[in-house]
Structure 1
Amino acid sequence: MAVHKLILDDIFEDVSCTLIAIHCAIEDYRLAYLLNKYLDITLTRKPKDLDFNNGVTEYSVFEYEDENKLDTWHLVSNICKIETESKIEQQSLFNAHHKVIRTYNLVPEYGKVNYFLKIDNEFSNSKEKQIINNLLKIPQIAMAYNVDMSALKSKEHLIFD
């Protein structure tokens, strides 16, 4: 019997994009507003959130398409918190229930990152540093830095179309 082996090329090898991790504690809509103000872009919330695990986890996505430069910007939340009921197994007369908040990450390798800014165009290092410097001018942002897309294990989670 013949053995057939399929070799799939990595579809992300020739993807040119810039990925910036953002650490901040504000809501997604406030961050989108501040990015619009400081970066002179127009991020708008997509009608549908990014859905994983058949609706168990959802991540908000904001998008801006620059038709002049042919760039697409995405702001996506990396953290999804879900509140569930949990039953405590104890030897008592009463069954105790308490609420548990579970945290899920879109990109588990960067669990402490709150948001990712993905720009579907690879910029020069100077332009990338300029974007990061503009992000760091926002008082609510604690930290922002570039992420190497080729080193991510879960880069397929960052496909929005």
Structure 2
Amino acid sequence: MRKLILEDFLEDIDYALIGIHCSIEDYRLAYLLNQHLGLNLKRKASDIEYNDTSSYSIFEWEDDKQLTVWNLASNTCKIEVKDAIDADSLFINDESFTKTKHLIPEYKKVNFILKISEIPNQNIEKVILNKILSIPQVMTAYSIDATQLKTTDNLIFN
């Protein structure tokens, strides 16, 4: 009798995640990260889209020297939803409201996610984090443990 162990087939997480809290626009944050970290993040031609209802901006840079891929993705998406009509009501409700969706629902207060693929070691992640924290427009930033996320599929950007 053979035994199949599922963990053998799951890929190890080979990227670092940093959650960034700030209230500036995505393109402005990408510009500041480029300046402070020496990156070359550029907006991708198409946004990340899920279920044709939510869309998240994404910037990318492939560092050929370090063989890493950097992604900056918005964690929030605001969509306008029409209020459902109540069949039991005499009145038609024609109101709409704004609903907020998140790329990583476990971190709803995070505005942006910085994903660094194939990061060589933890010390570099700490240096990157300190440089991000030195940006005046960033309120706070911290490492996110990807092994604790239920929505890691949302972090596959290719």
TM-score category by the smaller chain?
Answer: 0.7 to 0.9
Q: State the shift of 1:91 in Å.
A: 6.3
Structure 1, unmatched stretches of 5+, are none
The match for 1:132 is 129
Q: Residues 4-153 of structure 1 correspond to what in structure 2 (within 5 A)?
A: 8-9=6-7, 10-13=9-12, 15-53=13-51, 55-86=52-83, 95-153=92-150
Alpha-carbon distance between aligned partners in 2 of 1:149 and 1:69, rounded to the nearest angstrom: 22
For this pair of structures, how many residues does the alignment match?
154
Q: State the shift of 1:96 in Å.
A: 4.3
User: Which range moved further: 119-128 or 28-37?
Assistant: 119-128
Q: Could you tell me which amino acid in structure 1 is paired with residue 109 of structure 2?
A: K
Alpha-carbon distance between aligned partners in 1 of 2:5 and 2:98, rounded to the nearest angstrom: 41
CA RMSD of aligned residues (A): 2.0
Q: Could you tell me which amino acid in structure 2 is paired with residue 119 of structure 1?
A: I
TM-score, reference length from structure 2:
0.87
Check the 8 A contact 2:68/2:119 in 1, yes or no.
no
Alpha-carbon distance between aligned partners in 2 of 1:60 and 1:6, rounded to the nearest angstrom: 39
User: Which range moved further: 62-71 or 96-105?
Assistant: 96-105
The DSSP-based 3-state class of the residue aligned with 1:97 is coil
Residues 26-75 of structure 1 deviation map (CA, whole Å, 9 limit, x = unaligned): 1111111111111110100110111101x111111100011011010000
Alpha-carbon distance between aligned partners in 2 of 1:88 and 1:57, rounded to the nearest angstrom: 22
Alpha-carbon distance between aligned partners in 1 of 2:151 and 2:47, rounded to the nearest angstrom: 18
Identity within the alignment, %:
45
Residues 116-150 of structure 1 deviation map (CA, whole Å, 9 limit, x = unaligned): 00000234333211111110111111110001111
Structure 2, unmatched stretches of 5+, are none
TM-score, reference length from structure 1:
0.86
